[in-house]
Every structure is written in structure tokens, then in C-alpha cells.
């Protein structure tokens, strides 16, 4: 029996949001996100095209949040740790 959870990203123990991935698919999404951020910084150098850099960062981060919201555990309320 598989004891790993079905979601890719668990909720945070404290606060609201998600933590680091718990399945390999989540790690792939996270590494691709970081690689694309690196590529955006390399392609849109801050001195040459700062607007393009900020737009690409916002689009990539929004895409990551959508994926995490779909494939992650549902954060129902603010969490204060395990009780």
C-alpha cells in the first residue's frame, strides 16, 4: 500500500499556504519553476529590460501558484501547528 499522500504540496504547519513538495511531480514543477526564473533573469537582464523581467517573474509565479493550488492540499484556515 502506498503511504504517500496524493497531493504534491502539503499545507504549512504554521500560517496559511503550502510547503515544499512531498512527491516527485511536485519537485519537478518546483525545479522547472526555478530553472525558468533563472532563464528569465539571464535573458531579461535587469539593466536592459527590467519590465520584461518583472512580467516574466509575475507570470511564472502565478503559474506556480495555480499548479500548487490545484495539486496541493487544501489550506482551509490559518494553522497554529499540531494540537
Q: Which residue has the higher pLDDT, 2 or 17?
A: 17
User: What's the pLDDT at 66?
Assistant: 94
- Please give the average per-residue pLDDT across 40-63, as a whole number: 90
Query: Cα–Cα–Cα angle for 8, 22, 18, nearest 5°?
Result: 65
pLDDT at 6 over 80: yes
9 exposure class (CB count in 10 Å sphere: 0-12, 13-18, 19+): buried
Average pLDDT over residues 69-73: 88
Q: Rounded to two decimals, what is the model's pTM?
A: 0.79
Residue 17 Cα distances to 9, 71, 79, angstroms: 10, 13, 9
Amino acid at each position: 500500500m502506498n503511504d504517500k499522500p496524493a497531493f504534491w504540496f502539503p499545507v504549512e504547519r504554521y500560517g496559511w499556504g503550502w510547503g515544499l513538495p512531498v512527491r516527485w511531480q511536485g519537485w519537478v514543477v518546483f525545479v522547472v519553476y526555478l530553472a525558468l526564473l533563472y532563464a528569465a533573469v539571464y535573458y531579461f537582464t535587469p539593466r536592459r529590460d527590467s519590465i520584461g523581467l518583472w512580467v516574466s517573474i509575475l507570470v511564472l509565479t502565478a503559474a506556480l501558484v495555480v499548479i500548487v493550488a490545484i495539486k496541493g492540499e487544501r489550506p482551509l484556515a490559518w494553522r497554529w501547528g499540531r494540537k
